[in-house]
Amino acid sequence: MACKLIAFDLDNTFLYDADTVSAANRRAVEDAAAEGVISAIASGRVFTSLPASALAIPSIRYAITSNGAAIYRLPAPEKRLGDNGDFDKARCFRHAVCVHRVSLPADRVEAIMKVLEDYPSDRYPVSFETFIDDRAYGYADYMRRPTRYGLSPAYIEYVRTTRIMVEDIRSFILEHKNHLDGLDLQVGDPALTQELRQRLRHEVPGIYITSSVPNRIEMANEKAGKAAGIRYLMNIFGIRKEETAAFGDADNDIDMIRAAGTGIAMRNGTASCRKAADYVTKPCREDGFAWAVHHRLGITDRLAVKEKFMRAALREAKKAAAIDEVPIGCVIVRDGQIIARGYNRRNRDRSVMAHAEISAIRKACRALGDWRLNGCTLYVTLEPCPMCAGAIVQSRIDRVMIGSLSDKSGSCGSVVDLMHVKGFDHQVETESGILGEECAALLSGYFRSKRKN
Ligand SMILES: [Zn+2]
């Protein structure tokens, strides 16, 4: 069953730290989008604390926030950018639409705060964060001395930049008891966290209570939960459970992992989270998210495909090196198959026309029985010269994948760009840097050995 919806936790699942998305995880989301899969963030964080690194990925379309207490539709990619074309967080927030929200009932807030009266913060390392209308508020002493409350050093900057400081947070919470999306406790002592969690579970029924990290207690409306978030998206898109996947690492991800057709836990996740999952992937730090997207959900790893074909072009280049020619190689691909190969034989053939690309284009035309190569992608280890670029445009090749760039004769943008000339009746998509270092090293190695001789 093909996957149509992916929901994923951020911290320690999709993000390396408070605000870093790896290139591999970003590509995996884009690969999924290329196959029509909808991607949604599913975080315990409040909406305005979501990291720029994730919101800037255009193919992420939804954000389940505050552990499912609020769900947002993210704006169209162009509405996330500022005038300079860079990601603009304020503009992204302005254009996002909250499509679903449930708040904590006021009497539940009162009941929670009643339990916490037994733990005054001057004697117990108990701090509060609360979320009202997408703003996060934090206890002032916790923001001044976060380590007293057990906050991981990697998150200190994040908390200080996203929370509004409140001195008397207990009174503040009670004053706003009608508007709380969520209420979190950060506790600097593991035994105390356990005790508090047990007391809250027993003495305050009818709330959703969970944890994203062991020394945190997160509370919301009983109808919240990341599972409610993923079900909401399944409903509006008419997607079945079997067509969904969810990723997480912590106890607040368990309900979502169970609600999805394929529940995936990170190897760095809690024991209970891993136990709830259908599949345990590599750790977050080893891009376990991207790995499972490609290897478990069956979404094509487009970079791996490109590298596979560039490797074939490199093998051609080595054939040129073996006969003492400048090592440049090329393959032409159609429908996922190599239909022609070529390598540089300029000296051997005593012809300037014996460039790798021209030779491959000739063979591709023979293979297809047509001079038109629409639907083909050409992989070449070095940016094409003007002659080859001309032949590429004339043969109507769709795409050119380039290994290393050439500042001497590169005609796909380095010296001149013949691939995107407005007046021409055919434009060619280009991408460079595929196995770029290997391609460049092969050439520089060749010229180095020439100089020695
Ligand atoms: Zn050429």
State pLDDT tens for residues 80-123. 999 998 999 999 999 999 999 999 999 999 999 999 999 999 99
Between residues 450 and 8, the one the model is more confident about: 8
Determine whether 357 is an active site residue. Answer: yes
State the pLDDT at residue 452.
77
Cβ proximity of 165 and 140 under 8 Å? yes
How far, in Å, is the centroid of ligand 1 from the Cα of 95?
A: 48
Residue whose C-alpha is closest to residue 334's, from 294, 382, 369, 368 = 368
Q: Ligand 1 centroid to 353 CA: how many Å?
A: 8
pLDDT of residue 453 exceeding 80:
no
Positive or negative torsion for Cα 395, 396, 400, 404: positive
- Report pLDDT digits (tens) over 425-443: 999 999 999 999 999 999 9
pLDDT of res. 450: 83
Q: Are 361 and 392 in contact (CB under 8 A)?
A: yes
pLDDT at 404 over 90: yes
pLDDT tens, residue by residue, 162-189? 899 999 999 999 999 999 999 999 999 9
User: According to the model, what pLDDT value does residue 349 have?
Assistant: 95
Report field, pTM of the whole predicted structure over 0.85: no
d(CA 150, CA 152) in angstroms, rounded, equals 6
- For residue 391, the CA-to-ligand 1 centroid distance in Å is 9
Q: Quick one: 8 exposed, middle or buried, by C-beta within 10 A (0-12, 13-18, 19+)?
A: buried
Point out the catalytic residue in the list 357, 383, 431, 437.
Answer: 357
Distance 409 CA to ligand 1 centre (A): 9
Nearest Cα to 328, choosing from 264, 409, 268, 399?
A: 409
Q: What is the dihedral of CA 185, 174, 119, 211, to 10 degrees?
A: -20
Range list of β-strands (E), 349-422: 376-382, 399-404
Look at 155 and 207; give whichever has higher pLDDT.
Answer: 207
List, in sequence order, the alpha helices (H) in 224-301: 226-237, 254-259, 271-276, 288-295
Q: Does residue 214 have a pLDDT over 90? A: no
Strands 279-281 and 244-248: unpaired
Which DSSP category does 75 fall into?
A: P
Interval between CA 433 and ligand 1 midpoint (Å)? 18
Tens of pLDDT along 225-269? 999 999 999 999 999 999 999 999 999 999 999 999 999 999 999
Whether the predicted pLDDT of 70 surpasses 80: yes
Residue owning tokens 């795409």: 399
Tell me the Ramachandran region of residue 384: left when phi exceeds 0, alpha when psi lies from -120 to 50, beta otherwise. Answer: beta
The answer, yes or no, to whether residue 357 has pLDDT greater than 90, is yes
| Residue-wise pLDDT tens digits, 19-30 | 899 999 999 999
The confidence score (pLDDT) of residue 213 equals 85
**Quick one: pLDDT at residue 338?**
98
Question: In the beta sheet, which residues pair with residue 8?
Answer: 41, 247
* Cα–Cα dist 172/100, whole Å: 25
CA angle 162, 220, 234 (to 5 degrees): 95
Structure confidence by residue, pLDDT tens digits, 1-54: 689 999 999 999 999 988 899 999 999 999 999 999 999 999 998 898 899 999
CA distance 92 to 109: 31
Q: For residue 381, how far is its CA from the centre of ligand 1 (angstroms)?
A: 11
